[in-house]
Amino acid sequence: MKTIAILYTQTNKKGSARPFSGAHQEYQKYYQLLYNLGEKHRLRFMRAPLRWISNDGRVKKAWFLENGVWHIRNFQKKPDVFWNKLKGTQEELQYLMRLENKVPVINATYLEMSMTNKFFTYLLFSEYFQQTWLVRNSAELKAHLKKIKDRKVVLKPLMGSGGESVLIESPKMLAQYQPKRTMLLQKFIDTSHGIPGVMRGRHDMRIHILNNKIFCAEYRTPPQNSLIANITRGGSLHYLAKNKIPTKATALAKKVTKRFHDILPHFYAIDMAFDPQGKPFLIELNAKPGILFDYPQKMHILTTLIREYF
């Protein structure tokens, strides 16, 4: 049986909190489904923070899901593959680079680095983003804000996901902000006209890529009185059939996949949104998309992921 060790960032000192007992409880049932399907395909999943991994790549102990209940078990072996679900700090990335010389890591660290740092992603695909500036202090922020004549502008961290610490405000309001870390300033995409041929209204759209192919897609809508559609910020998820993806979005996704064509296996997400003229712009790339596949087709999607990714 092939063993898959899922690496995660521990949020308590001992790493002993039961998985999904905190802010992301909604993922529990999807991982439980993934584990159960994995057993049918001779895959055994486990979860472990980095402190439970030895320098030679052995998993000293891990969380195992047994009959719907989480247990910590000693393992003391190298898994066949590490599945990277870490937050992606600089220290974690450096550790992964050493680790993948001993045990395969998916996604590969190069792909992870290209997507985790949003400015790196912008440099790779700048022609497909709204205009973006690196901001290191309040003076730079104010200087770049003077170049923007739009009613709204976006300020976001260099790293992170889920819409955490993303600000969408008027240039006048943001000029009062005091950045405490390097951030990205970006022109705002007015998504109020919707996705051509799909829906009307504010949105973002996510296309999942599995080994260079469009795997599945969805769009998200923000809660009332919000411009941020991330699920962790209260957004709503809507399944989008592959044959309903706008042609322009498919073309943009293909341009992205060419860049990572040879880094296999891979599973990542392309987030984009459409302006009032129906042109798609990249928002970000996500090297560790969640598996919150709340779709009627979730069994087929998770089975395909198991067969082709691991």
CATH number of domain containing 165 = 3.30.1490.20
Both 173 and 222 in one domain: the answer is no
Residue 37 inside a domain? The answer is yes
Residue 65 inside a domain? The answer is yes
Both 146 and 77 in one domain: the answer is no
Domain with residue 96: its CATH number is: 3.40.50
Residue 204 inside a domain? The answer is yes
SS3 string, 157-193, reads ECCCCCCCCCEEECHHHHCCCCCCCCEEEEECCCCCC
Q: Provide the domain limits for residue 54.
A: 2-106
Both 158 and 214 in one domain: the answer is no
pTM, full prediction: 0.93
Both 177 and 208 in one domain: the answer is no
Both 284 and 174 in one domain: the answer is no
Average pLDDT per block of 10 residues along the chain, 310 residues long: 94 68 72 91 96 96 91 97 92 92 95 92 97 95 92 90 79 90 94 96 96 95 79 81 97 97 96 97 94 82 94
pLDDT at 232: 66
| Neighbouring residues of 304: CB distance < 8 A, sequence distance ≥ 6 | 210, 215
Both 151 and 222 in one domain: the answer is no
pLDDT at 12: 64
Residue 183 inside a domain? The answer is yes
Both 17 and 97 in one domain: the answer is yes
Both 169 and 252 in one domain: the answer is no
Both 86 and 167 in one domain: the answer is no
User: Distance (Å, rounded) from C-alpha 310 to C-alpha 21?
Assistant: 26
Placement of tokens 């596949």 in the chain: 293
Domain with residue 294: its CATH number is: 3.30.470.20
Residue 111 inside a domain? The answer is no
The DSSP code for 53 is B
The backbone torsions φ and ψ at residue 190, rounded to the nearest 5 degrees and listed phi first, read -80, 105
pLDDT at 59: 98
Both 149 and 180 in one domain: the answer is yes
The DSSP code for 242 is G
Both 58 and 142 in one domain: the answer is no
| Boundary of a domain, candidates 165, 187, 209 | 187
Residue 112 inside a domain? The answer is no
Tell me how far apart the terminal alpha carbons of the chain are, to the nearest angstrom: 12
pLDDT at 19: 83
Residue 10 inside a domain? The answer is yes
Both 11 and 79 in one domain: the answer is yes
**Number of structural domains found in the chain:** 3
Residue 113 inside a domain? The answer is no
pLDDT at 133: 96
